[in-house]
A and B are shown apart, each in its own frame.
Chain A
Amino acid sequence: MNYGIVSQEQLEQIDTILTDKLIKLGVDCVIIIDMAGNIITAKDNGESKYDVYSFAALAAGNFATVDAMAKLVGEQEFSLLFHKGQESNIHFSKIDDELLLISMFGKDISLGFLRLNVVDVIEKIRQLWKRK
């Protein structure tokens, strides 16, 4: 996998996928991060004002912790996580061993519909890397 440096073309394609599949659906903010806490790309609906850098660091830590817990109970991994709040929710899904897709969304989007789209996005991103 071409990881470490992602070409401008790859990033633009990923941004298009994220916008078409998640932002247009009504998701507030989508971030792709690596497991070290670096941001690969972040897209939002133009209104949300999240501190994405701190968020990425915490999300990577959070996911790593859950991954370690999975191993303790004999699971290979817990490939997705969901945090539910009053007004907003966060959905984490693993793209591959290095990358994580995080979607932040409000109460007007159904979780099931979001998950279907997340699966689609991840498949498309994997294809994109395969081609390189």
Chain B
Amino acid sequence: MSFINLKDKVVQVKIVYYGPGRCGKTTNLEYINKTYRNQIVSEMVSLKTHGDRTLFFDFLPFDMGKIKGYDIKIQLYTVPGQVKYNATRKLVLRGVDGIVFVADAMAKQREKNIRSLNQLHENLLSYKESIFKIPLVMQYNKVDLKEHGIPILPTEVLQKDLNSRLKVPYFEASAITGYNVAATLKKIISSTVISIQKKLL
């Protein structure tokens, strides 16, 4: 749940990047950190293993400016993608306001995407949240690999696999080059802020 401080007029919004291992969640945050450096006051926090895999989460806070006199502070988190870390994934989801599901568009990762999305659904249920209600954006990452001759899933297949029932906004993206990283972020921020506004009215 977002926290609204009426005294200092600050709204804190928690957005989590979720997805299977090595799909590019941390890369999304690294690109945002690099590109929007002037809006980010603090350093990106990464809790990772020696092998550079996310162990607990990455955290990146930034200011979005004011809406109706309230300062909007966006807090971006990633979860660890590896299968064995579900307990920590669940902890990161606590109090989430909006989710970006990063899917790996590589053909061989097809099943992992589906499994990860199903687990997201279960994890949200444990907090009495519904994947059908929470602001969610799909990002089909790694589309740049096509140029390197690596087989990737067509967007229609990914849509059918992951988004046929959810019907949420989606983006083809390449976190490493930055393609549609900002578009994904803008979409999830706007959906989340609108949903918070609705809850308050």
A binding-site residues for B, Cβ under 8 Å: 4-8, 11-12, 34-41, 51, 53-54, 57-58, 60-61, 64-65, 68
Contacts and interface: CB of A to CB of B under 8 A. Distances in A.
Given A4-B1, A53-B75, A61-B56, A12 B7 contact: yes
B43 A36 contact: no
17 contacts: A5-B4, A8-B6, A35-B95, A36-B14, A36-B95, A36-B96, A37-B77, A39-B3, A51-B43, A53-B75, A54-B45, A54-B61, A57-B45, A57-B57, A57-B61, A60-B94, A65-B56
B2 A38 contact: yes
A125 B135 CA distance: 33
Interface residues of B, number: 29
B96 to A, nearest CB: 7
Nearest to B127: A36
A58 B56 CA distance: 10
A68 B87 contact: yes
Nearest to B3: A38
B91 interface: yes
B43 A54 contact: yes
Interface of B: 1-7, 12, 14, 41-43, 45, 47, 56-57, 59, 61, 73, 75, 77, 87-88, 91-92, 94-96, 200
Given A36-B94, A61-B56, A61-B92, 6 more contacts: A8-B6, A11-B6, A34-B95, A37-B59, A54-B42, A57-B61
A12 to B, nearest CB: 7
Contacts of B57: 57, 61
A58 B3 contact: no
A128 to B, nearest CB: 14
A53 B96 contact: no
Q: Which 4 A-B pairs have the closest CB atoms?
A: A36-B95, A38-B3, A64-B91, A57-B59
B59 A58 contact: yes
B12 A39 contact: yes
B56 to A, nearest CB: 6
A88 B115 CA distance: 44
B4 A4 contact: yes
Which of B2, B5, B43 gathers the greatest number of chain A CB atoms within 10 Å?
B5
A58 to B, nearest CB: 6
A38 B43 contact: no
Contact of A7 (B6, B14, B59, B92): B6
Contacts of B5: 6, 11, 39-41
Nearest to B59: A57
Nearest to B199: A4
